[in-house]
A and B are shown apart, each in its own frame.
Chain A
Amino acid sequence: MCDQTFLAITFGPCDNCSQNKPLMNIYLKNEPINYCSLCVELMACQGLAKGETTNTLKAESESLKAKLEEERAKLHDVELHQVAEKIDALGQFVMKTRRTLKGHGNKVLCMDWCRDKRRIVSSSQDGKVIVWDAYTTNKEHAVTMPCTWVMACAYAPSGCAVACGGLDNKCSVYPLSLDKNENLAAKKKSVAMHTNYLSSCSFTNSDMQILTSSGDGTCALWDVESGQLLQSFHGHSADVLSLDLAPSETGNTFVSGGCDKKANVWDMRSGQNVQSFETHESDINNVKYYPSGDAFATGSDDATCRLYDLRADREVAIYSKDSIIFGASSVDFSLSGRLLFAGYNDYTINVWDVLKGTRVAILFGHENRVSTVRVSPDGTAFCSGSWDNTLRIWA
């Protein structure tokens, strides 16, 4: 709405082109400016052009994305569970709690296995990180972190250190001493620094590098000794909640999942996002590779778990039921990849037949949300941690 009759009141140098002309007194973002009519027109056109460019780019991006989905769908000649009809169904499972680890005074948020197949490290809301010999249920080490909500913890491949972090936005490494009297906290080493909470951490094949994911939307690879950032990974548009390294002797990739509902595969060497999947309807809480490294599973707040294959470049299975309406917080595969163990916010653990897509068992026992589920390195058991302050070993 521009009534020309009362606008050109003043005559003088234009704020933009400095020429002496009849000026239009207008307001730009509440600031009065005096432009000549030509400059006003130019400004309006530029704004239009810019808007147009962004819009055209957006449209191009959307159409490419749609085309990608089309291409992916073209190779979908059969469903996984259809091909799996020819293999035998699994028998009845007898899975019981074989050990209950009590000792945390608050919600257990995360746990990891030691490569010796029996020790574990667990972290909780009250800042306590405990190392257990799960076989004997003895506590071997305990550290109190200076922050609450320690959402991430990991065991070093050598078994000689643990890493943990959470609301302190850092990932710290504690060497484990054989001397019970030694104060572990004194030897603590701060390795990673993010600008928001640490959601997940993992050592690579070495005690010397740690991969982290954070609420700040990024993942990062760190040199433990120097604390140097080796590589950062940008691409998620919201909190990254989980990551998992590909189980390959030769590969350099990992997968991450987050609140933007995306699961991204990354090249550790270049920092590039090499593949991306977006089919979940809510936050992805956990990602885990299938043992061969060719696929990975996700657990999400949309109450489903899904399997994505990297070679087919798409989602290949959904694990869901009408009666499961609470989010899946954590997933892990059995050694052969036939079973998927998933912990849920409705306090249960559901065991899925990965190939046939059916549920083979539901495990009750925890008295609050199951926050973490991890299979032991030799696949003989899996451990679940819960907001009921306990951990359970199932076999």
Chain B
Amino acid sequence: MCVFLSIVQMEDVIARMQDEKNGIPIRTVKSFLSKIPSVFSGSDIVQWLLKNLFIEDQVEALHLGTLMAAHGYFFPISDHVLTLKDDGTFYRFQTPYFWPSNCWEPENTDYAVYLCKRTMQNKARLELADYEAESLARLQRAFARKWEFIFMQAEAQAKVDKKRDKIERKILDSQERAFWDVHRPVSVYGLQNDIRSNSPTHTPAPEAKQPTEEELREQIKFWQAQLDRHRLKMSKVAESLLSYTEQYSDYDPFLCTPDPSNPWISDDTTFWEMEASKEPGQTRVRRWGFVINEVLKDPVGREQFLKFLESEFSSENLRFWLAVQELKKRPIREVPTRVQEIWEEFLAAGAPSAINVDSKSYDKTTQNVKDPGRYAFEDAQEHIYKLMKSDSYSRFIRSSAYQELLQAKKKVKHFK
């Protein structure tokens, strides 16, 4: 049977709560004519959680405690609604027999037996609540045919109960009631119902099949390929993650308030209007200088990059790269035609926008074009990308066109 990890972990915590030495102090309280056995207060629970789970905030402890109560691990002794209050309200632990990990799915007949038994007990102490009385009436109608059988079971249980010690009975009665508070909650709304519903994605998985010989050979090939992989040292990787985050911190609205304001907070959409305008702001232009992908990602960046290359009569590389990107976005039906068009324009003998590709990629591409797919130009595109990165891009960033854009807004700001 499938038990969620969260249930297992909750029960670990509950077990710790019940530990004799470090758990919650359980006591018997004197009240009017009788004694209330085996209780602790809501505050006790909150305090224990704060201390033992290293929670810094009372709100968080209360929230977690409420979820545990909704699952029925401890319950208020005088209420059907299973919630946690950070005060002197008395709570009792549920017996492990009734814990969710036992995968309880009690039937309505079980509930009927329970309610019927309750009516046989001392009415003064354990009178049915309104909703319980309603449920009992409904169940009597539903199970009219087998009511005699239900009654007999209830009688038998009541008999056993009567033989128990008074204190023991008090505790067991409350625990049984709490069990039904979980499985037949007083309200269709609220926490107790919600926690029981589950997503269809979390059904217990069927037994894993034994892998076949074929599958095992595949696995071995995979592990061997993984072993051949080149890995970087953690120190290097960590530095890389740190510097990336550092570089983009200014652009992260959660770390650095956007200029002039975050539209969601100020209800002012100026920030978005500025981004949408064809005039790129200084921060946006600065970003293009980080790495070539930033220029390629931003439509305005692409436009500026293209303009610069056209002024140098060297735009065919970028145009080829853009054309291949666009090719991959087409429906599969249009791909063969488009592949031909790109071939004619950039790679065929006498092409108007001839690009310079290494012979290996060229040969491969020639082959691919015969059976054109979306990745026909993959090798050529990779080669061209590397060229652009090392050559055209660095020239663009150093160009006066780019530098002017970078400074332009600064100047404007200055004269404001």
Contact = CB atoms under 8 A, between A and B. Distances in A.
Interface in B229-279: 229, 231-242, 244-249, 251-255, 258, 262-265, 269, 271-272, 275
B54 A322 contact: yes
B138 interface: no
B6 A345 contact: yes
In the A-B complex, the 10 residue pairs with the smallest Cβ-Cβ separation, listed nearest first, are: A206-B329, A64-B223, A225-B331, A336-B252, A83-B238, A336-B248, A57-B216, A395-B264, A325-B9, A223-B332
B64 A346 contact: yes
Interface of A: 53-54, 57-58, 60-61, 64-65, 67-68, 71-72, 75-80, 83-84, 87, 90, 93, 95, 98-99, 117-118, 135, 149, 151, 167, 197, 199, 204-209, 215, 223-226, 228, 230, 237-239, 241, 248-250, 259, 269, 273, 275-276, 281-283, 290-292, 294-295, 301-303, 309, 311-313, 316, 321-323, 325-327, 334-339, 345-348, 354-355, 362, 364, 368-369, 378-381, 387, 393, 395
Contact of B248 (A71, A237, A337, A378): A337
B258 A75 contact: no
B4 interface: yes
Contact of A336 (B200, B202, B232, B255): B255
Main secondary structure of the interface of B (DSSP, over half): helix
Given A79-B234, A311-B237, A362 B248 contact: no
A64 B237 contact: no
Contacts of A250: 293, 382, 385
Interface string B4-20: 11100110010000000
Contacts of A380: 253, 258, 262-264, 271
A84 B253 contact: no
Interface in B202-235: 202, 205, 208, 210-211, 213, 216-217, 219-220, 222-224, 226-227, 229, 231-235
B252 A78 contact: no
A351 B250 CA distance: 19
A310 B222 CA distance: 16
Contacts of B227: 64, 67-68, 71
Contacts of A135: 263-264, 269
A179 B255 CA distance: 40
B237 A206 contact: no
A54 B213 contact: yes
Contact of A58 (B55, B216, B226, B232): B216
B67 A346 contact: yes
B220 A311 contact: no
A316 B205 contact: no
Interface string B190-207: 000010010111100100
A83 B242 contact: yes
B333 interface: yes
A48 B67 CA distance: 54
Given A199-B201, A249-B325, A348-B63, A323 B253 contact: no
Main secondary structure of the interface of A (DSSP, over half): loop
Contact of A228 (B5, B13, B332): B332
Given A99-B264, A135-B264, A311-B237, A378 B253 contact: yes
Of the listed residues B60, B246, B247, the one surrounded by the most CB atoms of chain A closer than 10 A to its CB is B60
A393 B264 contact: yes
B242 A334 contact: no
B251 A381 contact: no
A345 B255 CA distance: 27
Contact of A226 (B201, B242, B333): B333
Given A301-B6, A312-B231, A292 B333 contact: no
Nearest to A86: B242
A195 B246 CA distance: 45
11 contacts: A54-B216, A57-B220, A80-B238, A84-B238, A118-B263, A223-B331, A273-B222, A281-B5, A301-B5, A311-B231, A369-B194
Interface of B: 4-6, 9-10, 13, 49, 53-55, 57, 59-61, 63-64, 67, 194, 197, 199-202, 205, 208, 210-211, 213, 216-217, 219-220, 222-224, 226-227, 229, 231-242, 244-249, 251-255, 258, 262-265, 269, 271-272, 275, 293, 296-297, 325, 328-333, 374-375, 378, 382, 385
B241 A80 contact: yes
Contacts of B242: 83-84, 87, 355
Contacts of A368: 194
Given A58-B211, A75-B232, A393-B264, A309 B237 contact: yes
A167 B200 CA distance: 9
A345 to B, nearest CB: 7
B5 A327 contact: yes
Given A83-B239, A239-B201, A259-B205, A326 B264 contact: no
A355 B232 contact: no
A57 B219 CA distance: 9
A135 B268 CA distance: 10
A367 B150 CA distance: 38
A269 B378 contact: yes
Contacts of A205: 325, 328-329
Contact of B5 (A98, A303, A381): A303
Of the listed residues A228, A269, A311, the one surrounded by the most CB atoms of chain B closer than 10 A to its CB is A311
Contacts of B249: 336, 338
A313 B213 CA distance: 27
A249 B219 CA distance: 31
A78 B247 CA distance: 22
B236 to A, nearest CB: 8
Given A54-B213, A83-B238, 4 more contacts: A248-B293, A327-B6, A362-B57, A378-B272
Contact of A215 (B201, B246, B374): B201
Given A67-B227, A355-B245, A336 B251 contact: yes
Contacts of A60: 216, 220
B6 A61 contact: no
Contacts of A79: 234
Nearest to A259: B205
B216 A61 contact: yes
B216 A208 contact: no
B308 to A, nearest CB: 18
B190 to A, nearest CB: 9
B238 A78 contact: yes
A68 B244 contact: no
Contacts of B222: 273, 276
A98 to B, nearest CB: 5
A249 B199 CA distance: 35
A80 to B, nearest CB: 5
Nearest to A230: B332
B245 A75 contact: no
A98 B251 contact: no
A395 B333 contact: no
